[in-house]
Amino acid sequence: MESQEDPFFELRLYRVEPGRISDLERRMQEDLRVLFPRHGIRPAGTWSVRVGAQSPLFVYLMPWRNMQQRTNALAGFVADPDWAQARARTNAGTELVERYEILFLRAIRDWQPAPLTTGAADAVVELLLQEVAQGQGGEVRRAIMETALPAWEEVGATVCGVFDIMSGYGLPAVAFVVAWPSIERQAAASEAVREKLGKLRAGTGVPLLQRTDARLMRPVHVKWA
């Protein structure tokens, strides 16, 4: 990630103090919507986890051209006195974020924003962190492109992102960001997709896609400055 043009994504998962997820959403929508772009930071997506481990969680995804851009942007943001003021005010005496996890990702396919990001209030986004078979990178990628993506699209989902996880998780692993028009559609169709993906095998008979951490998230809409 050190080359001049070596694009990657950064996925942040913030464990939020119970009862304060709405405060963190407002911080993003009111304060960070201005402060992030000031320093060249413009997330590709922001979400609050509705169902999943360690909830409540706030999740956002940032694209970077290279590691130097990330280093410069975050250094400028952290040093911004307006951020210090906003953080103190929105924390209101206690930290909003109790713990956080950072994953570095490399796109297997270009990011595709979901058409529903400005749509229905019942839209839901599924975040899947999926361990994969050791030493089967080529087979895993073929299975994703030829079987996994069509399986979701056939049931009306939009696969926004497909990534190799580079660090911050049990490797080897991939990540999927899948948008559904409603939680009812996700509940009705996701089991059939999981069954199809569970049948994917390497030549040795080992499952290509293995243990999954799944979270259902609600889009948090931000009008970036």
Q: Is residue 201 part of a domain?
A: yes
The confidence score (pLDDT) of residue 1 equals: 46
Counted domains in the chain: 2
Mean per-residue pLDDT of the chain = 93
| Contact predicate 46/222, CB 8 Å | yes
Kindly compute the dihedral angle of the four CA atoms of residues 167, 170, 176, 179, in this order, to the nearest 10 degrees.
Answer: -110
Q: Is the pLDDT of residue 23 over 60?
A: yes
Within a 10 A sphere around the Cβ of 113, how many other Cβ atoms? 13
- Residue 131 sits in the same domain as residue 177: yes
Q: Do both 101 and 112 map to the same domain?
A: no
| pLDDT at 78 exceeding the cut of 80 | yes
Question: Structural domain of residue 174, as residue ranges?
Answer: 107-219
The pLDDT of residue 2 is: 47
The least confident of 2-6, 64-68, 140-144, 212-216 is: 2-6
Q: What is the reported pLDDT for 54?
A: 81
**AA identity, residue 43:** P
Whether residues 79 and 118 share a domain: the answer is no
Helices (H), the chain: 21-26, 33-38, 67-79, 81-91, 137-143, 149-154, 183-198
The pLDDT score that the predictor gives to residue 120 is 65
- DSSP-assigned beta bridge partners for residue 127: 177, 215
Q: CATH number of the domain at 201, please.
A: 3.30.70.100
- The closest alpha carbon to 97, from 21, 11, 149, belongs to 21
Quick check: is 1 in a domain? no
Q: What is the pLDDT of residues 107-144, one digit of tens each?
A: 999 999 887 544 567 889 999 999 999 999 999 999 99
Q: Are residues 141 and 201 in the same domain?
A: yes
